[in-house]
Amino acid sequence: MSSNKRKADFVWGVSTSNYQIEGAAHEDGRGPGIWDTFSAQGKIANNDNADVACDHYHRYPEDIALMRDMGVDAYRFSISWPRVLPEGRGRINEAGLAFYDRLIDRLIATGIEPWLCLYHWDLPQTLEDLGGWTARDSATWFGDFAALVGRRYGDRVKRIATFNEPAVFSLLGYAYGSHAPGKVNHDALLKVIHNVNRAHGRAVDAIRASVERASIGSIHNVQPCRPASDSAVDRIATERFDEYWNRAFPGPQILGTYPPQLAEALAPLILPGDLAEICRPIDWFGLNHYGPLYIKESTDMLKSGFGPVPAHIPRTSMGWPIEPDGLRETLLMLDRTYSLPIYVMENGTATIDHVGDNGEVLDQDRIDYLKAYIAAMDDAIAAGADVRGYFVWSLMDNFEWNSGFKERFGLIHVDYATLQRRPKASAKWYGELIRARRGKQMAAPGAETAG
């Protein structure tokens, strides 16, 4: 594709996920999911839960109007599996499916393209009780769910991702225990990795079969992993961690192979034909990126753990390092390694935001962060990386998993007592950036020429 054409088609969007914003946890027939269970076990900061969250389930028209005001091209959301299939398979919940019809139709009527992700960590509890992702059958369950979604929405939604950050939910859910289902078990972790990859392949096939002109991707967290010290043990721990964190899923899904240490560990689980089923052609690589990781040898299950961020590096309120150049480095690495068009599907920061007396939220830290990361993406594009879109995490403040509502990632502030939405200074800034970039795209000579 010519670079002018690429610029003209560049997609500017915002991202969310169902569990973090919808609420309505017990409404219209939704079944329980693993995060409901995990929250009920008191595993979330401040004992928060997402029963109400941002109440997006009822307030989605207002949220779409706020996106329209910002002028985004696209909105990435996810489907709640337990809302549409309360037991995860079998019985279909029409009321749940109808919610996403309303959402999608309104987005399209507003001129915003829906980008749908099938799985953002909200596994139906009934399936977890059958072994969840450790069960080989999970690939079939997920393939069937994908087919249902494809048949229902595929006439209107073409951009579909299978999984969001499989490495994060597998490792935090089964190696570190800090995310649902809160296990620490190496055998289970290996099964989960392989079955989630198999499930991805099934879903790709199901979407291709049910959605005409589908554009299919998979969304991965990829972060440079750096040893927390110069010691040999930290370097070895970092190499091991990098395989699990950055390569366990894109490797088999796109290249058809597991990285070496994992290939050895997984060998007993890989049946003939599995790798071919996993490695199905996809159309794009979805990247979620916030900053690099500093890894040290540890007593954790993988003998690798999260080390301290070097003192001189600035950090967000989550403690995550702010290093925009890591995004440039990652985009160029992905471009070389996987040769797929890349969409940045999540980037953003948690900041400590205050509502001023006049109702304004002046989140200059977020603006500075986004500016620097978008500049780093521009540098990667200038150096040849095929990056075709950028989505901010997140449209609005939401339930940040085990951190609960404490961490605020939104361009829009949510008052959790009243559920009032207030666009922050960053929302205005992002809207202006999109308009300015679009203006340039329109002016680019030859922008309409096909590549």
Distance of closest approach, residue 4 Cβ to ligand FCB, in angstroms: 32
How many other CB atoms are found less than 10 A from the CB of residue 215? 16
Phi-psi region of 311 (alpha: psi -120 to 50; beta: other; left: phi over 0): alpha
Query: Closer CB to ligand FCB, residue 17 or residue 304?
Result: 17
Count the residues of the shown chain that bind ligand FCB, applying the rule CB under 6 A: 12
Between CA 423 and CA 330 the distance in angstroms is 30
Q: Cα separation of 211 and 232, whole Å?
A: 50
Is 165 known to be catalytic?
yes
For residue 11, the cross-strand partners are 389
Q: Does 165 bind ligand FCB (CB under 6 A)?
A: yes
Would you say 154 or 291 has its CB closer to ligand FCB? Answer: 291
Question: Should residue 119 be labelled a site residue for ligand FCB when binding is judged by CB under 6 A?
Answer: no
Write down the H helix ranges in 175-214. 186-210
- Between helices 138-153 and 94-110, what is the axis angle to 10°? 50
CB of 272 to ligand FCB, least distance (A): 33
* Site for ligand FCB contains 346 (CB under 6 A): yes
CA distance 404 to 268: 38
> Taking the complex as a whole, how short is the minimal distance between the CB of residue 121 and ligand FCB, in angstroms?
7
Alpha-carbon distance of 414 to 360, in angstroms, equals 12
Is 78 near ligand FCB (CB under 6 A)?
A: no
Residue 433 CA from chain centroid, whole number: 23
- Which range binds ligand FCB by CB under 6 A, 56-64, 164-172, 245-253, 369-377? 164-172
Binding string, residues 187-226; x marks residues near ligand FCB by CB under 6 A: ----------------------------------x-----
Please pick, among 22, 165, 297, 400, the residue that the annotation labels catalytic: 165
From the candidates 128, 297, 323, 346, give the one annotated as an active-site residue: 346
Instruction: Give the x-and-dash track for 13-52 against ligand FCB (CB under 6 A).
Output: ----x--x--------------------------------
Q: Residue 232: which residues within 8 A CB-CB, separation 6 or more?
A: none
Task: Report the DSSP pairing between strands 225-227 and 293-297.
Answer: parallel
Contact by Cβ (8 Å): 343, 287: yes
CA distance linking residue 197 with residue 167, whole number of Å: 10
Q: Is 80 in the site for ligand FCB (CB under 6 A)?
A: no
Out of 393, 405, 429, 430, which residue is the one contacting ligand FCB (CB under 6 A)? Answer: 393
Return the residue of 11, 52, 130, 168 that touches ligand FCB, per CB under 6 A. 168
Specify whether 346 is catalytic.
yes
Binding window for ligand FCB (CB under 6 A); candidates: 162-170, 228-236, 278-286, 297-305: 162-170
Taking CB under 6 A as the rule, does residue 130 contact ligand FCB? Answer: no
409 part of the interface to ligand FCB, by CB under 6 A: yes
DSSP β-bridge partners for residue 14: 75, 392
Q: Based on CB atoms, which residue is closest to ligand FCB, 154 or 348?
A: 348
Q: Which CB contacts under 8 angstroms, 24+ apart, belong to 166-169? A: 166/193, 166/196, 166/197, 166/200, 166/218, 166/220, 166/248, 166/249, 167/220, 167/221, 167/244, 167/245, 167/246, 167/248, 167/249, 168/221, 169/121
For ligand FCB, the closer of residues 77 and 401 by Cβ is 401
Task: Please report how close the Cβ of residue 357 comes to ligand FCB at its closest, in angstroms.
Answer: 29
Q: What letter represents residue 355's amino acid?
A: V
Q: Among 288, 304, 330, 426, indicate the residue that binds ligand FCB (CB under 6 A).
A: 288
Mind telling me the catalytic residues?
Answer: 165, 346
The residues that touch ligand FCB, with contacts defined as CB under 6 A, are 17, 20, 164-165, 168, 221, 288, 346, 393, 400-401, 409
